[in-house]
Amino acid sequence: MPSFNQSIFHPAVFFLTGIPGLETSQTWTSIPFCCLYVIAISGNGIILFVIITESSLHEPMYYFLSMLSFMDLGLCLSTLITMLGIFWFNAREIRFDACIGQMFFIHGFTFMESSVLLAMAFDHFIAICNPLRYATILINSRIIKVGFAIVFRGTTALVPLLLLLKCLSCCSHVLHHSYCFHPDVMKLSCTDTWINSAFGLAIVISTDGLDSVLILLSYALIIHSERKKAFGTCVSHISAVAIFYIPMISLLLAHRFGKHAPPLVHMLIANVYLLIPPVMNPIIYSVKTKQIRKIVLKIFLSKLI
């Protein structure tokens, strides 16, 4: 295990952190994380497979759900190697360029997932408040354009944000998470990070912040339309929104105001933010969406028979 004396650090290398206090038993503590990864990857993979192969699910609602599963799958795979590398092989070292790449995928998939949740809210709004025009508004070509817009929006703003990190010089090279996270990397800087912080805040407000406001607005309009019976069809989406935004806000608040909190608290919040949405979304939609539940059960029963 390397000594964390700053004088031996290569300027292009960071060291990731496992679970504080449990370094000697990381193999055992990896078991619940492995289970979560297996559930997330297999669950989202099944959702994607079912939607792609079943022609009866080739509808706007399920297209957006497949996008959500793809984002969750990408988010899991973005951290799988570093997380399991720490737990199984104590491989804590990550080069700066690899760290930048991992941040690009983690934050990119996070921003894109927020946009997908907004698109799903718009889908619910049109289906409930203007059902007669639903088929003419959400046509396939328009959904494809929405998909491209989601990818473009989620990635373009990240490029200058991450390039700004190359201008910083680091006093420490020990990160507080088992993956690279932009606020965590900024904390290691000896130089002024005002520009990085302001630009990062502007991106978060213009993506996740704006999306959350528009999602709330869409549900306010649904409630105002007095179609409360149809509101029950939105339970799955409301649950997905809650399990996405609550951990993300908790992690941002922990970085902003939890400087004196125990390292274990930061680690737990960071892992909840990363793993709970990909784990829970397939479960929520499999349980609450009748069409997907029936097809998944049919596939499993046919395999058993």
What's the confidence (pLDDT) of residue 78? 94
Question: In angstroms, rounded to a whole number, what is the distance separating the alpha carbons of residues 223 and 232?
Answer: 11
* The pLDDT of residue 23: 67
**Dihedral through CA 121, CA 123, CA 129, CA 132, nearest 10?**
180
Q: What is the pLDDT of residue 4?
A: 41
The domain limits of the chain are 13-303
CA distances from 180 to 9, 51, 210, 251, 260 (A): 17, 32, 25, 14, 20
The topology (CATH level 3) of 13-303 is: Rhopdopsin 7-helix transmembrane proteins (1.20.1070)
The tokens for 86 are: 């720490």
Q: What pLDDT is recorded for position 285?
A: 92
> How many Cβ atoms are within 10 Å of 75's Cβ, its own excluded?
25
The pLDDT value given to residue 101: 93
Ranges assigned E (strand) in the chain: 13-15, 93-95
Distance CA 185, CA 16 (A): 11
Angle between helices 140-156 and 158-165 (to 10 degrees): 20
10-residue averages of pLDDT along the chain (305 residues): 41 80 75 93 94 91 96 94 87 90 95 96 92 92 96 90 82 85 86 87 93 95 75 86 94 80 82 92 89 83 72
